[in-house]
Amino acid sequence: MHELNDVDKGADQSKSRPIDPQMVDEVTAAYQRLRDELGKIIIGQDEVVDQMLIALFANGHCMLEGVPGLAKTLMISSLAKCLALSFRRIQFTPDLMPSDITGTEVIQEDRSSGERSFKFLHGPIFANVILADEINRTPPKTQAALLEAMQERHITVGGTQHDLTPPFFVLATQNPIEQEGTYPLPEAQQDRFMFKVLIKYPSYKEEYAIADSTTGEETPALSECVTQAQVIAYQALIRRIPAAPEIVRYALNLVRATRPNEEGSLEFINKVVSWGAGPRAVQALLLGGKARAVLKNRHHVAIEDIRALAFPVLRHRVVTNYSAEAEGYTTERIIEELLACIDPNRTPFDDDECTRKVLTA
The confidence score (pLDDT) of residue 161 equals 87
Query: What's the number of domains the chain is made of?
Result: 2
Distance between first and last Cα of the chain? 25
Q: What is the pLDDT of residues 177-219, one digit of tens each?
A: 766 667 888 787 889 999 999 999 999 999 999 898 888 877 7
Classify burial at 356, counting beta carbons within 10 Å of its beta carbon; exposed 0-12, middle 13-18, buried 19 or more: middle
Q: Are residues 44 and 12 in the same domain?
A: no
Q: What percent of the chain has pLDDT over 90?
A: 53
Neighbours of 202 (CB within 10 A): 17
Nearest to 28 by CA among 287, 297, 239, 305: 297
Q: Are residues 93 and 235 in the same domain?
A: yes
**Residues spanned by the domain of 112:** 20-239
Output the average pLDDT for the chain: 86
Residue where a domain terminates, one of 239, 258, 273 = 239
Rounded to an integer, what distance in angstroms lies between the CA atom of residue 104 and that of residue 246? 49
Q: Are residues 218 and 99 in the same domain?
A: yes
Q: Are residues 85 and 174 in the same domain?
A: yes
The confidence score (pLDDT) of residue 20 equals 85
Neighbours of 262 (CB within 10 A): 14
Nearest to 135 by CA among 103, 100, 108, 172: 172
Residue where a domain terminates, one of 239, 261, 281 = 239
Q: Torsions phi, psi of 47, nearest 5?
A: -65, -40
Q: Are residues 120 and 5 in the same domain?
A: no
Nearest to 72 by CA among 41, 93, 100, 97: 41
Q: What is the CATH number of the domain that holds 201?
A: 3.40.50.300
Name residues whose C-beta falls within 8 Å of residue 87's C-beta, 6 or more positions apart in sequence.
77, 80, 81, 127, 128, 129, 130, 131
Residue where a domain terminates, one of 239, 256, 275 = 239
Q: Are residues 217 and 308 in the same domain?
A: no
pLDDT (mean) for 25-38: 94
Q: Are residues 193 and 340 in the same domain?
A: no
Helices 21-38 & 72-82 angle (0-180, nearest 10): 130
**Residue 169 pLDDT level (bands cut at 50, 70, 90):** very high
Q: Are residues 26 and 4 in the same domain?
A: no
CA-CA-CA-CA torsion sign (211, 212, 213, 216): positive
In a 13 Å sphere around the CA of 155, the CA atoms on its Cβ side amount to: 26
Q: What is the CATH number of the domain that holds 280?
A: 1.10.8.80
Q: Is the pTM of this model over 0.85?
A: yes
Q: Are residues 52 and 105 in the same domain?
A: yes
Q: Torsions phi, psi of 160, nearest 5?
A: -110, 135
Q: Are residues 285 and 204 in the same domain?
A: no
Q: Are residues 14 and 163 in the same domain?
A: no
Q: What is the pLDDT of residues 35-49, one digit of tens each?
A: 999 999 999 889 999
> Bigger pLDDT: 39 or 111?
39
Q: Are residues 157 and 303 in the same domain?
A: no
**Residue 264 pLDDT level (bands cut at 50, 70, 90):** confident
**Which of 97-106, 164-173, 281-290 shows the lowest mean pLDDT across its residues?**
97-106
